[in-house]
Amino acid sequence: MATPVLRPPRDITLPDEGSTTAREVLSLSLRQLMIEFRGMLRALPCEADARAETEHFAATLDRLYARSPAVIASLLRRPTVSALARCLRNGLRPDGNRDGLESLARDLRALVGFELALAGAIPDALQVSRPPARLASLGARLAVTLPADARCVTFMSGRMSVERPGEAVEYDLGVKDAPRFERPYRPIAGELVLALTDNNPLAMYEAHPNKSGNAIDLGEHSAEEWCTTLARALDLIATYLPGIRGEIDLFIQQMVPVGYDDHRHLSASYQESIGTIYLTLHPNLMTMTEAVIHEFSHNKINALFELDPLLENAFWPLYASPVRPDPRPLHGVVLAVHAFQPVARLYETMIARGHEWAQKPDFLRRYEQVKKVNREGASVVLEHGRPTAIGRGLLDEMRRWDEHYAAK
């Protein structure tokens, strides 16, 4: 498989009509991960007694790469799988320690086995000793909690067998409405779901000084209320930023609820888990809509970061950020401006088309605040950033939108 080659993007922030830039970036980042994942297979960390399992896992996936690469691509498109793969690629644990990665590799082997078994795509049985307590398939929209004393799980096409002391428990994966299967994914719109389970190893790691991780929490509101609110936010985006709405369907597969707060709104994304948005519920629909656009934009540029650093001086020195109390590398300031420029466009379009909220003082005040954030952030990036060839395309677009709003 050839190394992906990317052209400098013209419209990675706000898509032109008929743009294929986001699709190209996502496709190339997936192809890059497929190359990296194949290279990792025989180097996955494991305990001494799991070496044979790991070797067999690598050999089985090698055959799938050769015979059915689309199956591998489908697996790695799911953030539940790709987050584990990227963490292992980077040698990361939630605490940043590079030791003890065996459990992450074990979780990855078990999840891949589960997804392949559900899809009926396993050429040979896959065995995982000391499996995780729970297996959740974003592809099949179901989960299963394994017996607490499970010693080993064996995956085969359409079924799995869990070994425990004195017996083996058989699971028919073709009967997906069986009582032992849980349904932790709730539909929001299209293929997008609200996820009430999460296996991202970094979810509780939070670099923002005002946040404390992203534990699943409905905030005493029903999953139905969450889904209804998020669907309304997506409808608003479809009406006023249809290009962005189409890209959301391309990138985002799950939204994870992390509480309710009627005073402030918190949200997060991770480069390791492209396809996932973490966010709190808020009573103001515009706040929710902003958050969806903001975190989707992080997902999109994170896919680009998988391919190129964009700036030669991305991580040093540090600069004042318009949206954070702590000094930030230019990498972080780029993330902020790239996320807030589409938010400004949403406000501008709603005003231009006479939305009923567009004359409210709070709405207009927020629009001015967003424009100010963008102006300050763009000024820092455009003055100090040393772009790569790919990054030049992003900065040129940032400059165009900065000049557009300077004239407003």
pLDDT score of 43: 87
Q: What does the alpha-carbon distance between residue 250 and residue 272 come to, in Å, rounded to a whole number?
A: 17
Over range 121-138, report the average pLDDT.
94
Please tell me the pTM assigned to this model: 0.94
Residue 207: the pLDDT is: 64
- Confidence band, pLDDT 50/70/90 cuts, at residue 1: low
What is the DSSP-derived secondary structure letter of residue 386? -
pLDDT band for 324, please (50, 70, 90 cuts): confident
pLDDT at 193: 98
204 pLDDT band, cuts 50/70/90, is confident
Within 10 A of 341 (CB to CB), how many other CB atoms are there?
26
Phi and psi dihedrals of 236, rounded to 5?
-65, -40
What is the average pLDDT value for the chain, to the nearest integer?
93
User: Mean pLDDT, to the nearest integer, of 45-73?
Assistant: 94
The dihedral formed by the CA atoms of 56, 59, 64 and 66, expressed in degrees to the nearest 10 = -170
In eight-state DSSP terms, residue 180 is T
Residue 3's pLDDT is 62
* Residue type at 4 in one-letter notation: P
Give the pLDDT confidence score for residue 209 in this predicted structure.
58
pLDDT tens by residue, 252-306: 999 999 999 888 889 999 999 999 999 999 999 999 999 999 999 999 999 999 9
Who has greater pLDDT, 95 or 190? 190
**CB count in 10 Å sphere of residue 271:** 18
The residue written with tokens 């958050």 in the block is: 291
Determine the pLDDT at residue 408: 76
pLDDT of residue 97: 57
Average pLDDT of 91-108? Answer: 74
